[in-house]
Chain A
Amino acid sequence: MSGNSSWMNSLVNRMATSKFFNYLAGHVLVPYWAWRTPVYAQHGGPRATIPPGDNMQRMMNLILPLKDKTAVGRAKAALAIASNLDEIYAGLDNVGTVHFARFVIIENNMCMISSYDGDFSNYIRDFVAQLGTVFDSVVALIEGGDDMIPTKENIDAFINWVHDRDVYQIPDTATDLLRYGTIGHSAAKADGPDDLRLMPRALILQLHKNPNSLLGSGYRGYPGLSVAQIRHKMGLGW
């Protein structure tokens, strides 16, 4: 790479990873391009697809900001779970499609993380039918949750409310980033042309809209199996 501009070239190469450029990118370029080429904030949770394997062990990651951001608020949330273990266990057993579920407090957010089979709305609807009052006591501690109570009588709105708080899942198939979400571009056009080099920007702009995200659909040790299939095959009953 001889030539007069080669020092300039290596300077620019170094610049790409410099603090200055990082600052410029994050604080100026991202807002500019977010304005110039807006994208839709994609919904949280997995996309609807037909193949059965896509509908097993789907991941839910709810981020629910606590109203009270002190230790008292966090303790209230912890108690709401701890004092309702029977309700939660029986409810999840009766929903029948949940592999794992856990409640985690992270940075004053109540996080509900689970892996479930089938459709998201059905899962939430069945769960609310089983333990609406527990949901009510948790939702009462969450910012923006008051309008949802009692959840059993606001079931459609509550399912939407929960869906809106399930984090965005970055697609495993990278080109989906180019296809979906760009306003007035590409998705409508049947076949390109695209600019694959803009893929990183597509990701950046989507993460600008969706600050929380699940990176890909996540690893599964035994993909394609439902809770009941595992219980059935392992002789645990269902």
Chain B
Amino acid sequence: MSTFASRNAFDPADVQGNILRGYHYGRVRHLILEVHHAAAARRWLGQCVSGHPDAPQITTEEHWTTRPASCFNIGLTYFGLKGLGASKASLASFPTEFKAGMAGRSVKLGDIGESAPNYWAEPFDDPSKVQLIASIHADDLVELDRVEQQVVNAGSGAAFILHTARDGWNFDTDHVHFGYKDSISQPRFIGVHDPDNHADGQPQAPIGSMLIGYPTEYQGIRYNIPQPDVLGRNGAFNAFRILAQDVAAFEAYLDTAADELLDHPLSEELLALGAEASFGPDVSRREAMREIVAAKMCGRWRNGVPLALSPTTPNPEHEVSLTNFNYEDNDATGCPYGAHLRRANPREAAIVQRAARHTRRLVRRGVPYGKAFDPAKPDNEERGLLGNFICASLGGQFEALMCDWINLGLEDPQITGSNDPILGANFRETSWFHIPLKSGKNINLQGFPRFISTRGGAYTFLPGIPAIRYLASL
């Protein structure tokens, strides 16, 4: 038994269920609530962890044999903890970035220009109103409505003000806007049963990289436990983000880049003559080149096949693993150094900040929102992703990833100074993305705009079950 495993012991009944595993329901609804009547809100929280028939029960990490009709979880912002009556000393013991809130850390996250918090949708433009985010996962709207009603009825309707409800749905199984298959790979944890158990060529993460109070991947470093201990332990932090995706701009850029690349003297290094046949029946060279651009920017083909295992076609002759790959020998002729996937998680590839290796891993749980984009009938409706980025330290993981790697690109000198081509805070005038080729040359893509903008969000604390009882007892 490794040292981590021996120090990893936690009781699944103490931990909210949305941290270490995905629920895989078709729909999600996030209720954005403000505490109206603190005592009523506290009482309701107690009901949520004590089997009260009229209150939705918080889903825990406990193993289930039959899947419930819905799962229910809550996150609290700094203002939420304050609104519930947490003591000054307790509030002060939370990490700086959590106290500042997502809006307060906007520049670090690349939330600038039209993504700046003052342009966020209500109520996110006034962070003091975003106090409790209650998330309902279910397969159908009737169940979402039923649980929402339970929340609205809390404290005879007096506990909370419901500012907005944000619905997400998997409109096309696991595909998200921009057409990529998503929800493929998540960190696996030492000592935590993983039903999927996909090998992924990476060390398993210690539980302390997600849950507060355990050893982390950083040797010897423990993130501070918010006080009192019962409140902080077994909790996690979450960056909830509403990320609007500009599908029309993205598809238009694929056109532009494909045309540019077909004209490029090195185009055959990217797409050998006739190779488009492997992309599917009747796929033109231009269509194949569009898919190459989409794949190079992401690190996966849109069908999920990783470039690292299938560098030239989305349809490899022999089936490849979607998760078990690496960036061997620091090679980037398959997956570029700057591809989204590789920036966000360089796996075993060399990184500049060796001390930080594997310390910035996140659990990502995102569900799309908005209607699927129809290229035949382009519209300007907002669509995107309701993302949850979960970790034990927002500063050490989520923010570190966003400000050093997604933007800036410090992890490899060959991408330093550029931003993530898909998620980055890009500007048309200055954006660049290198596609390294086998010949040792690079093709440089330029002129792409920011494709993903922030419409709202909040840093939340996902308290453990004893912590919810503690808050209820205040």
Contact with B along A78-112 (1 / 0, CB 8 A): 00000000000001011111000000000000000
Q: Which residue of B lies closest to A155 (CB)?
A: B221
B400 contacts A119, C-beta separation under 8 Å:
yes
Pick the most buried of B218, B400, B410, B413: most chain A CB atoms within 10 A of its CB: B410
Are B407 and A50 in contact (CB-based, < 8 A)? Answer: yes
Closest 8 A/B residue pairs (Cβ):
A126-B355, A228-B413, A232-B413, A48-B107, A96-B352, A229-B413, A52-B417, A94-B355
A119: which B residues are within 8 A, CB to CB? 108, 399-400, 403-404
Chain A residues contacting B110 (CB-CB under 8 Å) are: 50
A232 and B355 in contact, given A122-B404, A157-B224 (Cβ under 8 angstroms): no
Q: Is B95 an interface residue (CB 8 A)?
A: yes
Q: Given B353, B395, B417, which contacts A96 in the complex, CB threshold below 8 Å?
A: B353
Q: Quick check: is A152 within 8 A (CB to CB) of the other chain?
A: yes
How many angstroms from the CA of A50 to the CA of B414 in the assembled complex? 19
Q: Is the CB of B112 within 8 A of A155?
A: no
Beyond A122-B403, A233-B413, 11 extra complex contacts between A and B, CB < 8 Å = A52-B409, A52-B417, A91-B355, A94-B354, A94-B355, A97-B353, A119-B400, A129-B359, A132-B221, A155-B222, A238-B350
Is the CB of A130 closer than 8 A to any CB of chain B? yes
| Chain A hits for B393, CB < 8 A | 156
Q: How far is the CA of A102 from the CA of B413 in the complex (A)?
A: 24
Please measure, in the bound complex, the distance between the C-alpha atom of A153 and the C-alpha atom of B400, giving whole angstroms: 19
A-B contact pairs, 14 of them (CB 8 A): A52-B416, A53-B417, A55-B408, A91-B355, A93-B354, A96-B352, A96-B355, A118-B410, A122-B400, A155-B222, A155-B224, A228-B412, A232-B414, A238-B413
Determine the residue in chain A with the shortest Cβ distance to B351.
A96
A233 to B219, CA, bound (A): 31
Please name all residues of chain A whose beta carbon is closer than 8 Å to the beta carbon of B372 when the two chains form the complex: none
The number of A-B residue pairs with CB atoms under 8 Å apart is 118
Residues of A within 8 A of B107 (CB): 48-50
Residue on A nearest B111 in the bound complex, by CB: A50
Q: Is the CB of A122 within 8 A of B356?
A: yes
Tell me whether A121 is interfacial, beta carbon within 8 Å: yes
Residue interface mask A110-125, B partner, CB < 8 A = 1: 0000000111011001
Seen from chain B, the residues whose Cβ lies within 8 Å of a Cβ on chain A are 95-96, 107-108, 110, 112, 218-224, 350-356, 359, 393, 395-396, 399-400, 403-404, 407-410, 412-414, 416-418, 425
| A-side interface size class | 35 or more
Q: Chain A at the B interface: mostly helix, strand, loop or mixed?
A: helix
Complex: how many Å from CA A128 to CA B396?
12
Report which of B219, B403, B407, B410 forms a contact with A97, defined as CB distance below 8 A: B410
Contacts of A91 in B (CB 8 A): 355
Do residues A238 and B352 form an inter-chain contact, with CB atoms below 8 A?
Answer: yes
Instruction: Give CA–CA (A117, B414) in the complex, Å.
Output: 15
Q: Which residues of the other chain, B, contact A96 by a CB distance below 8 angstroms?
A: 351-355
Chain B nearest CB, measured from A118 CB (Å): 5
Residues of B within 8 A of A97 (CB): 352-353, 410
Per a CB cutoff under 8 Å, which of A95, A129, A154, A160 touches B219? Answer: A129
Q: Give Cα distance in the complex from A125 to B224, angstroms.
A: 13
Best-surrounded residue of B112, B355, B408, B414 (most CB of chain A within 10 A): B355
Q: Decide yes or no whether A169 CB sits under 8 A from chain B.
A: no
